[in-house]
């Protein structure tokens, strides 16, 4: 027995809308006839990008990239997912989309993707700057020990990123170990080398991420199957 003819085209239209909004925010919604949402999403995207650029001018290039990943990129992903879900019949589109993101733990998966992206970025920096000595508990070790201390960050980011994408129970434990190590190292280095933009940003970011992940710790208690996520989404709607 073949599937009804309208199932595949509908699915393809949703994917196409998501891809269009990923390329240009609001474009997928525009193709669905949601002109008001498209204009709103474009305006929000431009505002967040401008905010990231403004904060970057104050704090430097690295902070600009950081704030873009923290502010604009999550919104970019949400509005693309909104295009995939299509028009909402029962509630406001954006409210419906956020409920789906929350119930299906896509926010945790997004953080996992950020960790993997960070692992790639860290690895590139290490390879391009082999002479850089990373502060490690008031020391700057060189040689093999120095390489291992630098490699620790992308390794942990990769493990945590994969675990978050899969919502594995062990990922929460590994992240807490990583956060404890990172915050302890940053605080110790703060007492030895004094405050710095990178060090201060790391402390604030880790504290905020850890508080949010602990708040969302129930996502890691059991594997979230598609059927379970659908029930949670329907319950939250």
- The conformation of residue 5, written as its DSSP 8-state character, comes to T
Average pLDDT for 35-49: 93
Ordered alpha helix ranges (H), the chain: 7-23, 27-31, 35-59, 61-67, 73-85, 93-103, 106-128, 143-166, 169-193, 197-215, 226-236
pLDDT tens profile 97-149: 999 999 999 999 999 999 999 899 888 888 888 888 788 888 888 888 888 88
Task: Say yes or no to pLDDT of 94 above 70.
Answer: yes
User: Of 128, 115, 202, nearest to 156 (Cα)?
Assistant: 115
**In the prediction, which pLDDT does 222 show?**
55
Report the distance separating Cα 231 and Cα 128, nearest Å.
Answer: 47
Higher-confidence residue of 193 and 168: namely 168
Across all residues in the chain, what is the average pLDDT? 84
Report the distance separating Cα 184 and Cα 52, nearest Å.
Answer: 28
- The conformation of residue 71, written as its DSSP 8-state character, comes to I
Task: Say yes or no to pLDDT of 211 above 50.
Answer: yes
At which residue do the structure tokens 């604030």 appear? 204
Higher-confidence residue of 200 and 101: namely 101
Local confidence band at 6 (pLDDT 50, 70, 90 cut-offs): very low
For residue 4, the SS3 value is coil
**In the prediction, which pLDDT does 200 show?**
74
User: Of 193, 173, 167, 15, nearest to 106 (Cα)?
Assistant: 167
Local confidence band at 5 (pLDDT 50, 70, 90 cut-offs): very low
Task: Say yes or no to pLDDT of 159 above 60.
Answer: yes
Average pLDDT for 68-79: 89
Report the distance separating Cα 26 and Cα 23, nearest Å.
Answer: 9
The encoded tokens of residue 145 equal 């020990």
**In the prediction, which pLDDT does 177 show?**
94
At which residue do the structure tokens 């949703």 appear? 14
Task: Say yes or no to pLDDT of 232 above 60.
Answer: no
Give the bridge partners for 136, in sequence order.
Answer: 139
pTM for the model stands at: 0.79
CB 115 within 8 A of CB 69: no
Domain boundaries, the chain: 1-88, 104-237
**In the prediction, which pLDDT does 223 show?**
53
**Which DSSP string do the residues of 94-113 spell out, in sequence order?**
HHHHHHHHHHTTHHHHHHHH
CB 75 within 8 A of CB 209: no
């Amino acid at each position: 027995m073949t599937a009804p003819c309208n199932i595949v085209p509908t699915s393809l239209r949703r994917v196409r809308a998501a891809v269009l909004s990923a390329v240009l925010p609001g474009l997928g919604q525009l193709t669905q006839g949601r002109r008001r949402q498209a204009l709103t999403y474009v305006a929000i995207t431009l505002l967040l990008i401008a905010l990231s650029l403004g904060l970057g001018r104050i704090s430097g290039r690295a902070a600009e990239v950081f704030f873009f990943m923290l502010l604009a990129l999550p919104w970019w992903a949400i509005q693309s997912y909104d295009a995939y879900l299509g028009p909402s019949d029962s509630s406001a589109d954006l409210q419906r989309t956020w409920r789906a993101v929350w119930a299906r733990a896509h926010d945790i998966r997004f953080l996992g993707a950020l960790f993997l992206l960070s692992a790639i970025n860290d690895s590139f920096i290490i390879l391009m700057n082999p002479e850089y000595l990373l502060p490690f508990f008031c020391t700057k070790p060189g040689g093999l020990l120095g390489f291992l201390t630098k490699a620790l960050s992308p390794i942990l980011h990769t493990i945590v990123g994969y675990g978050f994408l899969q919502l594995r129970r062990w990922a929460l434990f590994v992240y807490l170990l990583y956060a404890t190590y990172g915050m302890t190292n940053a605080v110790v280095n703060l007492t030895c080398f004094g405050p710095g933009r990178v060090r201060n940003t790391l402390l604030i970011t880790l504290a905020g991420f850890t508080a949010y992940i602990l708040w969302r710790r129930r996502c890691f208690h059991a594997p979230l199957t598609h059927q379970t996520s659908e029930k949670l989404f329907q319950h939250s709607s």
